[in-house]
């Protein structure tokens, strides 16, 4: 049914493309006859351009895992409350983007920061080509701003890492040996009152050969948390094996940066000027507030185009604003 829906969408897109170009041709004919159709013509050409860009981006999502849902994990870097707050801002950015795309989201694991922000968050974005669109978001994101937690109102630089993996469905088999796993259960946290969990329902699974750790505590049932944790582990192992394959073949070696604090993929500067800039593709957006509110299309499209050209390698930030 999912494949059928995707094919029906392709046919509908093709029909819409033909219809839009025919409308523009009709406007040109009316203009030749002396009709005042310039406003309608300009509007139709602009809409066709936007539609064509969306179709072009979709044609670049041809990987095996691109059509799948995305599992997004956000971790703050060093810096305590400042970076934890930044991690929560990033989490909100991706949730708002998913909402604007009409995708569904589900929180798998969420740990509050001590004073503000989050210590970590993992959530699933469900929708066609969610992973394909977000795959390039994996890496370190940098924020430069006047800290709201600094009484002296000094400028601070914060870091947070984002990791995106595909949610593996039954069409892709991942073999996990039981002897390679360590499964721990613990009492999940809560805000008190009726939310207090009195059973060890939270589940943490460690894959011993790779050291990959996943955990889920949002469900009150240990069985449901275990199922979700296994699904997350399968996705992480799939992405892990893909990374190994990429390193071996060298085909996509430069398409994704390692997650460490020496290789930022994007900077969001709120002070002394305002701009969001991707250091791999050089895409810049001046309205950084709009970006933090979920406007990611220029960056997602820019990464896909650079990846197709083989130039999405990144060279790190060009300016040093660390304080």
pLDDT in tens, 224-258: 898 889 888 988 888 888 777 766 544 433 443 44
The arithmetic mean of pLDDT across residues 46-72, rounded, is 85
Whole-angstrom distance, CA of residue 148 vs CA of residue 286:
22
Query: Cα dihedral sign for 257, 260, 262, 267?
Result: positive
Dihedral-angle region of residue 230 (phi above 0 means left; psi in -120 to 50 means alpha; beta otherwise): alpha
The predicted pLDDT at position 272 comes to: 87
Task: Identify which has the larger pLDDT, 213 or 56.
Answer: 213
The arithmetic mean of pLDDT across residues 298-315, rounded, is 78
Q: Which two structure tokens, joined as six digits, stand for 279?
A: 């250091």
The predicted pLDDT at position 198 comes to: 57
Residue 117 pLDDT greater than 60, yes or no: yes
The arithmetic mean of pLDDT across residues 213-234, rounded, is 87
Residue-wise pLDDT for 157-198, tens only, equals 999 999 999 887 656 667 788 888 999 888 776 555 455 555
Q: State the pTM of this model.
A: 0.69
- Confidence band of 266 (pLDDT split at 50, 70, 90): very high
Q: Which two structure tokens, joined as six digits, stand for 190?
A: 């809560």
Q: Do residues 82 and 146 lie in contact, with contact meaning Cβ atoms separated by under 8 Å?
A: no
The predicted pLDDT at position 21 comes to: 94
The predicted pLDDT at position 311 comes to: 66
- Confidence band of 24 (pLDDT split at 50, 70, 90): very high
Measure Cα distances from 60 to 94, 132, 301, 302 in Å: 21, 9, 9, 11
Residue 91 pLDDT greater than 80, yes or no: yes
Residue 312 pLDDT greater than 50, yes or no: yes
Task: Identify which has the larger pLDDT, 247 or 63.
Answer: 63
In 3D, which of 290, 248, 242 has the Cα closest to residue 138? 242
């Amino acid at each position: 049914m999912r494949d059928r829906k995707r094919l029906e969408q392709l046919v509908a897109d093709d029909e819409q493309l033909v219809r839009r170009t025919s409308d523009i041709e009709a406007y040109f004919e009316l203009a030749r006859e002396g009709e005042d159709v310039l406003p309608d013509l300009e509007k139709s050409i602009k809409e066709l351009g936007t539609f064509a860009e969306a179709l072009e981006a979709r044609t670049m999502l041809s990987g095996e895992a691109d059509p799948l849902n995305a599992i997004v994990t956000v971790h703050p870097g060093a810096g305590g409350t400042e970076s934890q707050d930044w991690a929560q801002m990033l989490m909100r950015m991706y949730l708002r983007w998913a909402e604007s795309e009409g995708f569904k989201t589900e929180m798998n694991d969420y740990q509050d920061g001590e004073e503000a922000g989050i210590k970590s968050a993992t959530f699933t974005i469900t929708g066609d080509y969610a992973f394909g669109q977000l795959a390039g978001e994996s890496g370190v994101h940098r924020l430069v701003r006047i800290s709201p937690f600094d009484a002296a109102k000094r400028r601070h630089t914060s870091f947070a890492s984002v990791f995106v993996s595909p949610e593996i469905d039954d069409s892709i088999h991942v073999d996990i040996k039981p002897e390679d796993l360590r499964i721990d259960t613990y009492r999940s946290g809560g805000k008190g009152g009726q939310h207090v969990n009195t059973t060890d329902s939270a589940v943490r699974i460690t894959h011993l050969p790779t050291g990959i750790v996943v955990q889920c505590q949002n469900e009150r049932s240990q069985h449901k948390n275990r199922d979700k944790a296994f699904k997350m582990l399968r996705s992480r192992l799939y992405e892990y094996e893909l990374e190994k394959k990429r390193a071996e073949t060298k085909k996509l070696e430069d398409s994704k940066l390692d997650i460490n604090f020496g290789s930022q993929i994007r900077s969001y500067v709120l002070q002394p000027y305002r701009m969001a800039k991707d250091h791999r593709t050089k895409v810049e957006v001046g309205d950084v507030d709009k970006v933090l509110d979920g406007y990611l299309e220029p960056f997602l499209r820019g990464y896909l185009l650079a990846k197709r050209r083989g130039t999405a390698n990144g060279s790190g930030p060009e300016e040093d604003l660390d304080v």
